[in-house]
Structure 1
Amino acid sequence: MTRMLVTMLVVLLFGCLLPVLSGCSNVLGLPKSGAVQVIKPAEQDARRIFTNPSGPVKDAQPEAIVKGFFDALPAGVQSDGFKTARRFLTGAASN
């Protein structure tokens, strides 16, 4: 009796959920028909922020050295060719 009741509940539950699940088959709401459209890409913002980081401080803690290195990286790309960032590294690593 219990096995039959469980089977009936499973069938009933599946029967109720099937229409709901089939309605959600297009989760992202992507169109399935219609004309193809060409969309222009968004224009990039031309404003830039330039940084002027300071070099390493004598007797700095390891965390400050790592933070300073990462803070100096954007300036390397923008203007100084990573000169400031290289000052945080050993001679061998800087090369």
Structure 2
Amino acid sequence: MITQHMLVTGQVQGVGFRWSAAKLARQLGVTGTVQNLPTGQVAIVASGDEPQLADFAQQIKRGVTPWAVVHDLKITAARTQRFSDFRIITR
């Protein structure tokens, strides 16, 4: 199991992106969190095996909803974390 931080830039707030990302993560067996940032970006912490995370990232790049437009996806390795599920963080 590995954990990655993903920073998604583009039109990703107010378009159902977090909900769709959480639904996708659950379908793929990825655990972690997703949250909007004050910068207009979305932050994701995702844990899973390498093929799961590669598939998840590939689909995140496509925008996961018809209304989202992803301009950039930055992925960095993180200390492995274990989550019980995938949750949307709201402030």
Calculate the TM-score normalised by the size of structure 2.
0.27
Structure number with bigger Rg: 1
Query: Which has more strand, going by share of residues?
Result: 2
Query: Which has more helix, going by share of residues?
Result: 1
Indicate the structure whose relative CO is greater, using CA pairs within 8 Å and at least 6 residues apart.
Answer: 2
